[in-house]
A and B are shown apart, each in its own frame.
Chain A
């Protein structure tokens, strides 16, 4: 999933300051899973904004809506009926959703309420960990299902650095050393020979070569 965290309140208040009628729009997919932009979070933020406006005696009308997805036109279209009543949309979607909504409604002000963070997994209730950078060339089969681009602070492809100790990363000791995990798993699979080969330099052009990437599938197009 794509994760995010709600922006600091001061930042949100500064963004919405010019507007009197704000629609807080959630997204029911990834950011709902990571408890930052789903229906509940829309409710919390809207409630906070209403109370704040009353405390500061500022006129503000706050609406709430949560779309199933903010990155697909059919779902974004659900906003059409509501937009006229609002001056701005405070979107709690990821950056992809905010941009997709802004593209569908180019004359409306669409504000980002989240700082989009990373592609990750729900490790435990309330704990999300980054595990994919979308490099465009997945090699997890080489690394026993642990991505060194994402999970090694130095993106090392050819074994651990000299700083890892007791399986922890020297850069952020709360993180497991990716190479410790890779070695452990390959050992348990009797596949340590995977590591003898020199892993060649990564082809970053697949990730950042020519600006935004696209996937086009004729069978899916109308």
Chain B
């Protein structure tokens, strides 16, 4: 990764995915520092559109939802439901002109280690075409006084 591409990642992951998630998330945190934030969920189906929007609002450039392999959700449909929620959240982003593909869903491979660090490493290394979030330079705090009201 190029030094000028200091993206912020927020990762929502299903806790059923990795029995040693604390160890593995710390492993990534050691490499990526404050640029990666983890949000463990009891099931990816618990992820709501609001979580995803908040993550972007709070400065993430790229939000990843990491689910169990398809057909392997402990609660049967959690990882299917989150797809629809993510699609909905994307539509909300589109409404305000923010790149919907900043929200991304990744299913863990059916064969492979149950280790979020191993699953995420290649994803974090991928070239990322959408650049830094335009919200980062926004932050205007104009005149919010009652006089600013012109009704």
List A residues at the B interface (Cβ < 8 Å).
9, 18-21, 40, 43-44, 47-48, 50-55, 57-61, 87-88, 109
Residues in chain A near residue B141, CB distance under 8 A: 59
Residues in chain B near residue A48, CB distance under 8 A: 53, 92, 95-96
Pick the residue among A18, A47, A59, A60 that contacts B57 (CB under 8 A): A47
Please count the residue pairs between chain A and chain B whose beta carbons lie under 8 angstroms apart in the complex: 75
Is A57 a contact partner of B95 (Cβ separation < 8 A)? no
Having A21-B148, A43-B50, one finds 11 other A-B pairs with CB under 8 Å, namely: A18-B150, A20-B148, A44-B92, A47-B53, A50-B57, A51-B56, A51-B138, A54-B138, A57-B140, A58-B142, A61-B144
Given A19-B149, A40-B50, A44-B49: A51 touches B144 (CB 8 Å cut-off): no
Given A9-B96, A88-B151: A59 touches B134 (CB 8 Å cut-off): no
Closest to A12 in B: B95
Is B138 a contact partner of A21 (Cβ separation < 8 A)? no
Is B144 a contact partner of A21 (Cβ separation < 8 A)? yes
Residues in chain B near residue A43, CB distance under 8 A: 50, 53-54
Residues in chain A near residue B48, CB distance under 8 A: 40
User: Distance in Å from the Cβ of B43 to the closest Cβ of chain A?
Assistant: 16
Q: Is B98 an interface residue (CB 8 A)?
A: yes
